[in-house]
Structure 1
Amino acid sequence: MLPSIEQRLALELAAKPVQVAAAIALLDEGATVPFIARYRKEATGGLDDIQLRLLEERLRYLRELEDRRATIVASIVEQGKMTPALMEAIAMAEDKTRLEDLYLPYKQKRRTKAQIAIEAGLAPLADALLADPALNPETEAGKFLREAFTTADGNNPGVADAKAALDGARQILMERFAEDAALLQSLREYVQEHGVVDSKVVEGKQDEGEKFADYFDYSENISTVPSHRALALLRGRREGVLDVTLRLDTELEKPKWDAPHNPCEGRIAAAAGIKNLGRPADKWLADTARWTWRVKSFMHLETELMGALREKAELDAINVFARNLKALLLAAPAGPRATMGLDPGLRTGVKVAVVDATGKVVDTAVIYPHQPRNDWDGSLHVLGALAAKHNVSLISIGNGTASRETDKLAQDLIKQRAELKLTKIVVSEAGASVYSASEFASRELPDMDVSLRGAVSIARRLQDPLAELVKIDPKSIGVGQYQHDVSQTQLARSLDAVVEDCVNAVGVDVNTASAPLLARVSGLSASVAQAIVSYRDLKGAFTSRAALKSVPRLGDKTFEQAAGFLRVMNGENPLDASAVHPESYPVVEKILADIKKDMKALIGDASLLKTLQPARYADEKFGVPTISDIIKELEKPGRDPRPEFTTATFKEGVEEIGDLRPDMILEGVVTNVAAFGAFVDIGVHQDGLVHISALSNTFVKDPHTVVKAGQVVRVKVLEVDAKRKRIALTMRLTDSAPQAGSKPEQRGDRTDGKRLAQHQNKQPAPMAGSMAAAFAKLKS
């Protein structure tokens, strides 16, 4: 028998079945991944959040597999066609593909040509010719002629002549061969290894589909097509620009019917015992094998394998999005400092919002420093007055249209008002407009014009990126790769998991958090989160975690899941500001009693805490892992896992793409990481691309191992194409820009799969051509 779900998951996770069983039980009880990872280490043997997320995903798949297995067994039993051998094969099927292969002959389907032929009594003819190729097909077929008749399933044309008889017999054998599970798997494996994806431009679509130019004449082995290329190909096909097909690597051109069997046709013939020995039925049988491949098996496999390519590409794209989102959410916060947010604009003006250290809006304005009004001095006066009035220390500038012009305005303000000690930072404004028009923004800022809400978001996301970005649908934050081409359900589930993990890793101040932020805390639903905010507004700030139990609909189970991730700063109990769960407070009291110290003397005393032996305080409920976590937390209660706040400094005088020159070294911020490289904002309104081959002096398989969204990096300009708005960058500062007119060694994605693989393995210095090709996969 197939191992149990627990055993299979244990093998995949390199864990013990008892760990997996405990994790599954907790998940089934409604526990969240952050809660299990942080507070149930004894039960799971220390499975971390990454392992638990994988377990959760695979558990969903395996349970769906078992449900499908049961449905298939019931269907075949109901048909009266179940055999011990078939039952064993179904029971041992390890994935959905194998399961569906076994079910194929028994699957309820529309009345096929083969079924009509069987009704007409042609199965014996098919069996006879297959069993004895020495028989003459035409002679045998003449024995099976029959007038048209009617069945319970509909009219049957009967068998008019020998040709009709042989056609019917062929349909029977074709369906039989095509539904042989073992043969189908053999063919699938061959095509996976030897299948080639071809792409040609649809005639007349060259100009319309220029962005797909790299795929107008493209071929690559299906097993090596990376996710970004697969999604680009499929989008091009969906938009009617590309004709994308699958073929065998041995068939550069469409094969003729009288050509020798290709490897797959040969496998079908071999499986059926068909050989060409010059006997009367040999050619008919050989043609039947060919028909099976071309009409049945290949069409089935092409649909399946292209679908699998799409699914894998979608999964890779979702993983890229998730990793970028995590980096962005866990970006360093500037902290509780009065901040001025500037949402740049030209004709419509620059929207200004000032928030205090807690993020509360204290002032707004609209200034018109740029064309057509050009009120530069007046704008400086307004900004200076606002900064002085509200003790502003940070200026947060959105990176959209007129960003560099507005950045220059801020620079002039800093020079004019040096006594204010202002610092300016350009931040991503992705999603700010979505937030501005959202239902939550209208509740949070009801009396504010929609255009000003974006400036508020820009200011707050500098103070605390996590707290502000959770208010926006993750799909609108702009760090995805082909995000509109993937399964939206799977994408949403993955991104929600990332947001949940990030929020709970940092912790949430229950007295300042918004409802959207609280809703991401382990165990809290949107309605309970809103209930907390409403209770807080009515009763005032919470003075303890225990006080949360008075919130309507926040029961014991919810409190258990959420309490450890909620912080009550300056409350009645110092532990309420830490990640120590209330259920573990007795452990701390036990430690205090043992060392004869009070809470204030223990918290933060690293030298004392390092002397404590976790095993000394462990018992049946709290083991060494939990005690170790508690001691670590007491050393620095409520520690923030996010990095220190740093900023990039854009080069003065480099404000437009036309200001860039080859070999120029600049500082920038990584805005997005894709499978083929990283996009970097260098302050010219257009992100540049650092190709994967230009990220490091050593081989890079995954760009995420080198850079992450929000990271400040130094780059060198390799090539600038102002007309197409493409900037090629390198992080290998010793690289030199290609000489004008030099011929690229490689056309990147325009090459075949073998050469591409060689290029990726060697990763030579990036050349203009490969960079240009990489731009074909710009983020969508």
Structure 2
Amino acid sequence: MIYEATSFECSRIAQDLQIRKLQVEAVVQLFNEGNTVPFITRYRKERTGGLDEDAIRQILARLNFLKTSNERKQTILRSIENQGRLTNELRREILHAPTVRRLEDLYLPFKPKKKGLALAAREKGLEPLALAIWHSDPAIANLDELLPALVDPAKQLNTVEDVKTGVQHILAEMITETAEVRAPVRRLLWKASVLTATKHERVPEGQGNEYKPYFQFKESTQDIRPHRILALNRGEKDGALKIRLEWPMDVVTKEALSALAEHLLKVAGQPPQPTAPPQPSPPPSPEPAPPVPQEPPQPETIPPAVPVPGEPPAPDAPAPPTPPESPQEMPPSAPQFDLPDGTPVEITPAVPPMESPAHETPSIPSTPMELPSASPPFGMPPPPHASPLVDSLAAGLRPELTGECLVEGHEFRSPHVAFLKVCLDDALNRLMLPSLEREIRGELTDEAELHAVKVLAHNIRSLLMQPPLIGKRVLAINPGFRTGCKLAALNEQGNLLDHLSIYPFGGAPGEKKPRRERKKPDKAAPAPAPAPVEGAATDAAATPPVPSADAPGPESPAPTSEVPAPAPNVDVSSDVLPPAPAVDVPAAEAPPAPVADAPPTPEPVPVVDKVAEAKAQIIEFVKKHNLQVAAIGNGAACREIEVMLAEAIASDLADLSFVVISEAGASAYAVSPIAKEEFPNLEAGVRVAVTIGRRLQDPLGELVKIEPPSLGVGLYQHDMGRKELKEALEGVVESCVNQVGVDVNTAGVPLLRCVAGLNPMAAREIVEHRQSQGPFTSREQLLSLPTVGPLRHAQAVGFIKVPGAPNPLDRTWIHPESYPLAERVLTELGYTPSVLDDKAAHAEFRNKLNEIHLEEFAKHLDVSVPTLDDLFFALARPGRDPRDEMPAPIFKKGILKLEEMQPGMELKGTVLNVVDFGAFVDVGLKDSGLVHISQMANKYIKSPYDVVAVNDIVTVWVLKVDQAANHVSLTMIKPGSDRQPAERGQRPPRREVERQPPDRDQRPAPRGRGGPSRDASGPQRQGGPPQRGRRGPPRQGQGAASREPREVIPPPPPEPRKPKRDVPKPKLTQEAMAGKAPLRTLGELAAFFAAKEEKENAPAPVETKEANLVEPTPLEPQNPPGESPAS
């Protein structure tokens, strides 16, 4: 069972998701029955009302959140109850806490505390005084007379200042932990704070330039974009940036002071005792709650209340009654503690949750929360002594509050206003604001990571849903410089036929790479040890120069040629060495001379010869295995291999074409247990080549073997927690696999384990059964496996296909539970299931299906319309693969050079990655080009995901070429097309519709990702790339650039706005005109320039503003810091 949601919780979920409550209740019931998301989406539409997979997953997320939240509430209640401080009101507050933040604020005063200033002050017996001030006890109105009695050198309270400081620390912590103060300060910080970043002073000049856009950065916490948060976090982690939150301190203090006054007004007159006697269960509590706590303390408190103001000597101070009784005000050294006169104030007798500790502490000496050593000061005396406060409460009257107003115009008064303000400043600067800053930054990071997960999920869905390349033999190439290039020949099914290693750029197994000679001082004995491993160890122990000459000699000629000068010195010393290693020295010295002459000749000639030799090997390898397509990894030496292949195609391989494939995650796969199990005898480089080729042939089947975060198509995904990211992306992979379906006789364990209802154990058992018993012949045969029970079979069987099954229905998307209905439909139309195998008869059958009135036929068969709709669609297209509708990759026969690029040139490209500020497009250059969001359409668009997705084939035009930086800027706006200005009045409303109820009347248009449908992909856009992933049709004002006909606005656009802007300019003072007074508004600034230039044209600044809106300047770096263009 997931979670048994209440009716109220279902209503809240339905309201948030804009769906019906009955749909939420149905989904909750289906989850609790053990059904999976793909199964509910595909085969339970009649119960969910046609909800798509996205809505169902959101409901599941809400249920998991409610479950976790309720478990947290119960944990908090148990913790507070174990402390004996749980009141009925606090219980209600916790159970009805609307947010997690409110819940944690309520729990904050009761959390176990670390050793700190406030805890140390409590252990010295100063808490009762702080509580008396907190509750406005009139007995401690004159602190000048009370504080000296608390001076106790034995407790390190040597002076009155020490007492005041300790009480201040306690009150500062109490203010910080008060939810009623913390919440408004938090809200204000979210509204008014600004996140700033500067270059760290420890970063040397010229370094950290990848974070240069953030060296002088400042943006409101409400407006900052998620990718900037992640970039700032990365810069701070790398030590390049210093980040802090800035806020208007005077405004924050004013807000906190107002909230504190409101809270102190509530608690004023409440003795610090629990108002619910059953919870703390104090020893003396016979009848009524108020009188009972008063009686026990009175005998102990009365003496300290009157004598303490007198002048009890130091020996009297340690007595238990006195320290608790004496509060915390202290005016000896600070003038701000003078006690002014006060006026009576009404007191609201309410016990907020924050007061329960205060009540509990003085009334129960035996059960203080975490202060076992503070039993003496926790005696009853302090708060409930015989005082005007207690007398007025006993008489049912409201005690009078005297003193100054804490906030001007507020009811609350206190004789300790100055001291409370000092405590508030201490609480804000030392405790609350640093804590809230960490909290806000944490929430910003959480939101940014959540957004990054959505970006990654969106891109991975597009990556997994690439169309397969069927019926082609593939040459897979893993390019490389040092380790050579690994070639793999794959047949049509992706099986490895042969592999080959070529070394066009050096690094062949027989030759040794030259080593750079290191300068070795006299201490060279330890340094050369790792370099000369073969025979120079003994020489190194005797004389440093000898090993240095020996080591490079045999390895490469170049180093030996650099050491002719020291050679004589080495020879002199070597004359002394011959007795011991006489054999090594001459052997090492002999080769250097001849080898030193050889290097100049191999350097120029072999480079050309090796490339030609490698090209000949490729041609022979392609012809030997009749390969038709080449898949090149986009790693190191990719561009060089492209050039080589283009030359080979031009000369000998006219039928071959090539495409560049992303290598992201390939190296991780090569060393994974899955790869080692598949190819135990191959080296990692060859495994990488195989996976590159298979990614072209069957992207989904190959990419599911790799952890989604390693696919490199997200936004700073490597900076996030792997556990959370992995859990978030598992649903995307599961969705794609179940949307496409699997062939039970060819799919491997990585693919089968993603099928709804199956786990790795069941997937492995299917593969082992297939290997031992032969291929499956029916879906029902899966029930014979021990790990596949009826429930698991029901969940998974609809997404598993058996191509060679005798029953044609086993090759369709129809669930076995609907076989009787399918056979009845076929019978009603005069057919049998064999019609699905006859192409000619099937075409006629499809025409008949299209002529049937769906609602009437559903009524005739007594089934729901969604069920019959899906059945018709499965019968009409039994073998449909949703990936067939996706654009195929672009195959090339030549290369494009940066020198050939000219502004305005039209190109076709593949979208490699989509981020918040644009998309990176591969047009055949070495590096991908950036299409900024401002260049994606000739109208305002809110997000690049409304226009493109990963692997979309798009038409772009060259905007700008930077030869020096080796960079090209691209645009998706056709040159010469009218650009529509994004005027404020014409911008679409910024409302976010999470989702809309699906249209159930359209047929055949299956919804949900559980079956063969493309789900929320919608119809293809005219003149643009087909929609991908979960992107719905663009809203008004968004979408591809090709949609401009119905939204063209006749030029010139600025004119209609002129009358609106024709407003009188503000009058400027002489000081403002002279620059002595600040200009506070944009209107004053415009008036200043207008007056200075003696112009009366008011709309001038408006035109500048609109020009900026038409051609916005990208604020983001073209490549995110630390990310490659394609990642």
Q: TM-score, normalised by structure 1?
A: 0.87
| Change in 2 beyond 3 A, CA 1:499/1:618 | farther
Structure-2 residue corresponding to 1:153: none
CA distance 1:136–1:99, shift in 2 (3 Å): closer
Counterpart selection for 1:173 from 161, 171, 174: 171
Match of 1:34 in 2: 38
Kindly provide the amino acid, as one letter, of the partner of residue 225 in structure 1. Answer: I
- Deviation readout 1:542-571 (Å, 9 max, x if unpaired): 222222223342222222111111111132
Change beyond 3 A, Cα 1:42–1:174: same
Does residue 16 (structure 1) correspond to residue 20 (structure 2)? The answer is: yes
Structure 2: how far apart are the matches of 1:3 and 1:97?
A: 24
Give 1:606 shift: 2.0
Code of the aligned partner of 1:533: V
Q: CA deviation at 1:459?
A: 1.4
Out of 468, 474, 478, which is 1:343 matched to? 478
Letter in 1 for 2:689: A
Cα deviation for residue 263 of structure 1 reads 4.3
User: Which secondary structure does the structure 1 equivalent of 2:64 belong to?
Assistant: helix
- What SS class does the counterpart of residue 522 from structure 1 fall into? coil
CA distance 1:162–1:725, change in 2 (3 Å): farther
- Could you tell me which residue of structure 2 aligns to residue 741 of structure 1? none
Residue 868 of structure 2 is matched in structure 1 by 627
1:671 offset after TM fit, Å? 1.0
- Report what 1:308 is aligned to: 443
SS where residue 80 of structure 1 aligns? Answer: coil
Match of 1:571?
A: 805
What is the identity, as a one-letter code, of the residue corresponding to 2:196?
Answer: D
User: Relative to structure 1, is the Cα distance of residues 260 and 215 closer, same or farther in structure 2, using a 3 angstrom cutoff?
Assistant: closer
What amino acid maps onto 1:19 in structure 2? Answer: Q
**Structure 2 vs 1, CA of residues 200 and 270 (structure 1 numbering), >3 Å: closer, same or farther?**
farther
Asked if the contact 1:129–1:137 (Cα under 8 Å) also holds between the matched residues in 2, the reply is no
Relative to structure 1, is the Cα distance of residues 417 and 92 closer, same or farther in structure 2, using a 3 angstrom cutoff?
Answer: same
What is the CA–CA distance in structure 1 between the aligned matches of 2:79 and 2:687, rounded to whole Å? 57
Letter in 1 for 2:475: M
Report 1:571-590 matches (<5 A): 571-590=805-824
- CA shift, 1:282, in A, is 3.2
Q: How far apart, CA to CA, are the structure 1 residues paired with 2:862 and 2:749?
A: 33
Alignment of 1:201-240 (within 5 A): 201-206=199-204, 207-240=206-239
Please state how far the C-alpha of 1:266 moved relative to its aligned partner. 5.1
Per the TM alignment, residue 17 of structure 1 is displaced from its structure 2 partner at its CA by 3.5
Answer yes or no: is 1:510 the counterpart of 2:744: yes
Residue 745 of structure 1 corresponds to none
2:643 paired residue number: 408
Match of residue 706 from structure 1:
947
Cα deviation digits, residues 408-460 of structure 1 (max 9, x gap): 33334444456x73332222122222222222112112233322222211211
Task: Please state if 1:696 is matched with 2:937.
Answer: yes
CA contact (8 A) 1:719 1:727 kept: yes
Letter in 2 for 1:139: D
SS in 2 for 1:47: coil
**2:132 equivalent among 106, 123, 127:** 127
- In the alignment, is the contact (CA less than 8 A) between 2:917 and 2:1116 conserved in 1? no
1-structure distance, mates of 2:133, 2:641: 85
Cα distance per residue 1:230-278 (max 9 Å; x no partner)? 1111122222222211121x35xxx8xxx99554455445654653679
* Amino acid of the structure 2 residue aligned with 1:196: V
Give the Cα–Cα distance (whole angstroms) in 2 for the partners of residues 760 and 460 of structure 1.
Answer: 50
**Structure 1 residues 177 and 547, CA gap change in structure 2 (3 angstroms):** same
Q: Distance in 1 between matches of 2:893 and 2:656?
A: 18
- CA–CA distance in 2 between the matches of 1:623 and 1:499? 30
Partners of 2:729 and 2:611 lie apart in 1 by: 42
Mapped contact 2:257–2:406 kept (Cα < 8 A)? no
Distance 1:432 1:775, change over 3 A: closer
Q: Quick check: 2:646–2:895 contact (8 Å CA) kept in 1?
A: no
2:450 is aligned with 1:319:
no
- Given residue 913 of structure 2, which amino acid in structure 1 is its aligned partner? N
- Correspondence for 1:479: 713
- Separation (CA, whole Å) in 2 of partners of 1:347 and 1:401: 10
Contact 1:699 1:762 (C-alpha < 8 Å) held by counterparts: no
Cα 1:674–1:24 shift into 2, 3 Å: same
Summarize the Cα distance change of 1:432–1:681 in structure 2 as closer, same or farther, 3 Å threshold.
same
The residue number in structure 2 matching 1:654 is: 896
Higher mean Cα deviation, 70-79 or 493-502? Answer: 70-79
Residue aligning to 1:392: 627
Following the alignment from structure 2 to structure 1, what is the Cα–Cα distance between the partners of residues 691 and 60?
34
Cα contact 1:144–1:165 (8 A) shared by 2: no
Larger radius of gyration between Structure 1 and Structure 2: 2
Instruction: Supply the distance in 2 between the matched residues of 1:409 and 1:438 (Cα, whole angstroms).
Output: 31
Could you give the per-residue CA deviations for residues 528-552 of structure 1, whole angstroms, max 9, x where no partner exists? 2122222222222222222222334
Q: Distance in 2 between matches of 1:187 and 1:566?
A: 56
Determine if the alignment matches structure 1 residue 728 to structure 2 residue 969.
yes
Name the aligned partner's letter for residue 232 of structure 2.
L
1:190 to 163, 188, 191: 188
State the Cα RMSD in Å: 3.3
- Is contact 1:174–1:291 with CA below 8 Å preserved after alignment? yes
User: What number of residue pairs does the alignment pair up?
Assistant: 743
| Inter-CA distance 177–620: structure 2 relative to 1 (3 Å threshold) | farther
Distance 1:365 1:24 in 2: 55
C-alpha spacing 1:705/1:658, structure 2 compared with 1 (3 Å): same
Distance 1:770 1:718, change over 3 A: farther
Which residue in the other structure is 1:440 paired with?
A: 674
Rounded Cα–Cα distance in structure 2 between residues aligned with 1:695 and 1:762: 16
- Structural mapping, 1:113-152, within 5 Å: 113-118=117-122, 120-124=125-129, 127-128=132-133, 131=136, 139-142=144-147, 144-147=149-152
**What is the CA-CA distance between 1:140 and the residue it aligns to?**
4.4
Contact 2:887/2:952 (<8 A) preserved: no
User: Counterpart in 2 of 1:331?
Assistant: 466
Of residues 235-244 and 125-134 in structure 1, the stretch that sits farther from structure 2 once superposed is: 125-134
Check whether the contact 1:666–1:714 (CA below 8 A) recurs between aligned residues: yes
Tell me how far 1:328 sits from its aligned partner: 0.5
Which 5+ residue runs of structure 2 have no aligned equivalent?
A: 266-404, 507-606, 837-841, 978-1081, 1083-1103
Does the 8 A contact of 1:125 with 1:141 survive in 2? no
Contact 2:904 2:975 in 1 (8 A): no
Q: Is the 8 A contact 1:201 1:243 kept in 2?
A: yes
Q: Deviations over 1:64-118 (max 9, x none)?
A: 1000011112222233322232222212112211111111122222355445545
Separation in 2, partners of 1:446, 1:115: 62
Deviates more, 1:208-217 or 1:467-476: 208-217
**What does residue 451 of structure 1 align with?**
685
Q: Deviations over 1:708-752 (max 9, x none)?
A: 11112233344456666654332224389xxxxxxxxxxxxxxxx
Residue 740 of structure 1: aligned partner = none
Q: CA deviation at 1:380?
A: 4.7
Q: Which amino acid aligns with 1:224?
A: D
Amino-acid identity (%): 35
Contact kept in structure 2, 1:177 and 1:272, CA below 8 Å = no
Q: Residue 500 of structure 2 is aligned with which of 356, 361, 365?
A: 365
Check the 8 A contact 1:198/1:220 in 2, yes or no: yes
Instruction: Identify the range of structure 1 (303-312 vs 452-461) with the bigger mean alpha-carbon deviation.
Output: 452-461
Residues 593 and 703 of structure 1, relative CA distance in 2, 3 Å threshold: same
Match of 1:283 in 2: 418
Q: How far apart are residue 168 of structure 1 and its match?
A: 2.8
SS at match of 1:610: helix
Structure of greater relative contact order (alpha carbons < 8 Å, 6+ residues apart): 2
Aligned residue in 1 for 2:94: 90
Matched residue of 2:436: which SS? Answer: helix
Which residue identity is paired with 2:132? D
Task: Quote the offset at 1:651 in angstroms.
Answer: 9.8
Q: Quickly say closer, same or farther: Cα 1:682–1:106, change in 2 above 3 A.
A: same
CA distance in 1, matches of 2:952, 2:896: 20
Report if the CA contact (8 A) 2:41-2:52 is conserved. yes
Q: Closer, same or farther in 2 for the Cα pair 1:73/1:761, shift >3 Å? A: farther
Residue-by-residue CA offset, 1:562-618 (whole Å, 9 max, x unaligned): 111111113211111111111211111111222231123365532111234555457
Is it true that 1:540 corresponds to 2:540 in the alignment?
A: no
1:775, distance to aligned residue in structure 2 (A) = 4.8
